Amino acid sequence: MNILVTGATGFIGKYVINELVKIKDINIIAAGIENNDIIKDFNWDQKIEYIQCDLNQKIDNFFKFFKNPNILIHLAWQGLPNYNKLYHFEKNLITNYFFIKNLIENGLKDISVIGTCLEYGLIEGCLSEDLSTNPITIYGLAKDTLRKSIEQLNKIYNFDLKWIRLFYMYGQGQNPNSLFPQLDRALEKKEEIFNMSEGEQLRDYLPVEDVGSYIVKIALQNRINGIINLCSGEPISIRKIVEDYLKKKKKKINLNLGYYPYPKYEPMAFWGNNKKLKLILEHK
């Protein structure tokens, strides 16, 4: 079985690959925009074939180009974490739609695509997959539109579609502008104060190792298709998760709460309903 992973050299991609290499009798085709030299840093074994590719390339048949994959795990998406850049709608949406359409038209029958909790918009509370979406960020709108477009394709070509709606995560390799990398830099510099919001907003976090593992488990099953929240199902305040992080690292720093305002593009309290995910993880 051939599995194609796009965005394989990105933050989540490396953890997805690490999970896939544990599985017997599969061939992994890892795709990314970086040149072949970058994979020397990843210690990938011979089970992995890396193909450098920009999804904007003029390729007539991506399915053939990527060695006729049985499954696609589509992680690729540029321009994050700038959630309100027009780039997501004007460039990423179009590029990703036609890439997936090309694969489907040429024979691919099983795809797992990464979505985002920002598709839900400003809905508060526990968010289940059957809720109507109402994104207010350009990134969320682009992802939501991509999902709806792929669903229309599915009515024509009849393939297995898993739309994996990510919530929040943390771990090594994360964007340096994210919360925990900023906190780590402050600790490394032995700064006395860490500026942050009031920290009372409730979010849903998972370590990226779990995210990578769950993506693979979702992608390699077909009992549950459609939208699947990838989340812990447990709300936690930003302040609490920061305090827990400091305790785990046995570090101390004064939290300057209220320095930053709360983001306007997120509700004050939201987390995911993970019943579908649990059913997948519990199945042997």
pLDDT for 247 equals 96
pLDDT attached to residue 284: 62
Residue 200 CB-density burial (10 A; 0-12 exposed, 13-18 middle, 19+ buried): middle
Q: What is the pLDDT of residues 74-132, one digit of tens each?
A: 999 998 888 999 999 999 999 999 999 999 999 999 999 999 999 999 999 999 999 99
pTM: 0.95
Residue 43 has pLDDT above 80, yes or no: no
Determine the pLDDT at residue 62: 98
Q: Residue 173 pLDDT > 70, yes or no?
A: yes
179, 238 contact by CB (below 8 A): yes
Give pLDDT, residue 36. Answer: 76
Please name every residue paired with 150 in a beta bridge, in sequence order, or none if there are none.
none
Confidence of residue 258 (pLDDT cuts 50, 70, 90): very high
Check: CB of residue 253 under 8 Å from CB of residue 194: yes
